[in-house]
Amino acid sequence: MTNQSNQTGWNFDNSYSRLPEPFFSKLNPIPVQDPKMVIFNDALATSLGLHGQELQQEEGINVLAGNQVPEGATPLAQAYGGHQFGHFNMLGDGRAILLGEQLTPQGERLDIQLKGPGRTPYSRGGDGRAGLGPMLREYIISEAMHALGIPTTRSLAVVTTGEPVYRETVQEGAILTRVASSHIRVGTFQYAAAWGSKEELTALADYTIKRHYPNVYEDDNRYVSFLKEVIKRQAALITKWQLVGFIHGVMNTDNMTISGETIDYGPCAFMDTYDPGTVFSSIDRQGRYAYGNQPPIGGWNLSRFAETLLPLLHEDEEKAVEIAQDAISIYPELFKSNWLDGMRAKLGLFTKEKEDESLIETLLELMQKHRADFTNTFRGLTLENLQDNPLSENPKFEQWYELWKTRRTRQQQSKEESVQLMKNTNPAIIPRNHRVEEALAAAEDDGNLSVMGKLLGVLSNPYDYEENESTYCTMPDPLGKAYKTFCGT
């Protein structure tokens, strides 16, 4: 492979490659036969300082397919461990290669990673490739999450490879270009703690603090401050998931970023009918990562992160454990506070009253009992139109509705301000699972990207109550089979 001239706007630095060698393996992507552009994110490219038109030409496509290494890149696969459904394993980038870190015109440092570029030393017997459907799915969901205001990795492009991928069926091979604040995970720290030296753990921690939490680097105990900051950021992230009914599906510690961005859109989905026990993932047979379990699993994952930092928190192990436990103890309260604030906003409440939690819980209980749609219920409350909602003629809901209307009068803000708060908080549109599948089927089976293009356009303005199309708000056919998602590996 040869470096190309920098007509495309790449401005790489490769600070991760300057960490101790055990954290990665340097290697180039494996070239593919016949790469072709499927979808490209022009707006994201511009924000990255890239020249989108050039990237969609032959040389640019070759970079996004792994056939050429762009100027200044140092391709590598990252090593990490992780608790997968509770069991700890040695993992690593089995089908991803980090090209480098793009320094943007705004002064940001963002990872540019290829997903599906071939085997790495961490592939564990896998082929290192990806199918077109799962890569388009990540593109759709990650961009929808961004539009919803939820911290997330982004998708720059999907290219096909001209080669088949063998899973349950034969699929068209594809490569996704993923953009992230970084790909440092809880699992990266678990790897350092399990197989590295204290010096290597310290190097990783100092690097991560400087990159993501520079405000605490000069603190008396930067590692305690670091732990607390990660806890805050994860509590905020998982709150945002819960408030829109997003189910990650595979909250293993290797899928939990230290930056606080959502990563890995394999078996994820958005909840239709409200039920805390909702699981979509085909591999989550025990419901470990069900919607209602996501907040406590977040705390469990953070406890595993805290364990990795024990040697840095205090030289006395007992004292270190005490410090870690004190830090972790704030998570449940922090999450609940965030969640209550978010739910108040969804109900148009600016102020706090002690009875608010009961008001919220009563609504959710009614929604669960009567199988009401999560998104459409809050959309209906926002528009004061619950005509087609199963709650609409329920006496207990009518009682709740009167209590809610009275509660809204006990604040200085006007009803119009309350409604605007609800519009800013309750999405009118989410990536409904059946709509996502419809778009993927059209793209995979017929090569028709127009369905996906229209869906992406609608999802780019999820809080737009004036222009949204009602067809994208409808629930799936209740007679359809239970929706399942798959990780794509």
Phi, psi of 144 (to 5 degrees): -65, -40
Please give the single-letter amino acid code of residue 477: D
- Give CA–CA dist 26/221, Å, rounded: 33
Beta bridge partners of 390: none
Residue in 254, 264, 272, 373 annotated catalytic: 254
- Give CA–CA dist 244/164, Å, rounded: 36
Task: Cite the DSSP H helix spans in 148-216.
Answer: 186-195, 198-212
Q: Which two tokens stand for residue 469?
A: 């199309």
Of 230, 263, 248, 241, give the one whose Cα is nearest residue 331: 230
> Which residue's structure tokens are 């409604």?
419
Answer for the pair 254, 96: CB distance below 8 angstroms, yes or no: no
Beta bridge partners of 129: 117
Phi, psi of 112 (to 5 degrees): -115, 115
- Give CA–CA dist 438/112, Å, rounded: 29
**C-alpha 267: how far from chain center:** 11
Is residue 264 annotated as part of the catalytic site, yes or no?
Answer: no
- Give CA–CA dist 234/299, Å, rounded: 9
- Measured from the Cβ of residue 182, the count of other Cβ atoms closer than 10 Å reads 24
Enumerate residues 6+ apart whose C-beta is below 8 A from 86.
288
- Give CA–CA dist 475/10, Å, rounded: 43
- Give CA–CA dist 356/345, Å, rounded: 11
Of 113, 125, 85, give the one whose Cα is nearest residue 29: 113
- Give CA–CA dist 469/101, Å, rounded: 38
- Give CA–CA dist 95/88, Å, rounded: 19
DSSP 248: -
Please give the single-letter amino acid code of residue 237: L
Answer for the pair 259, 152: CB distance below 8 angstroms, yes or no: no
Phi, psi of 2 (to 5 degrees): -125, 150
Catalytic positions are 254
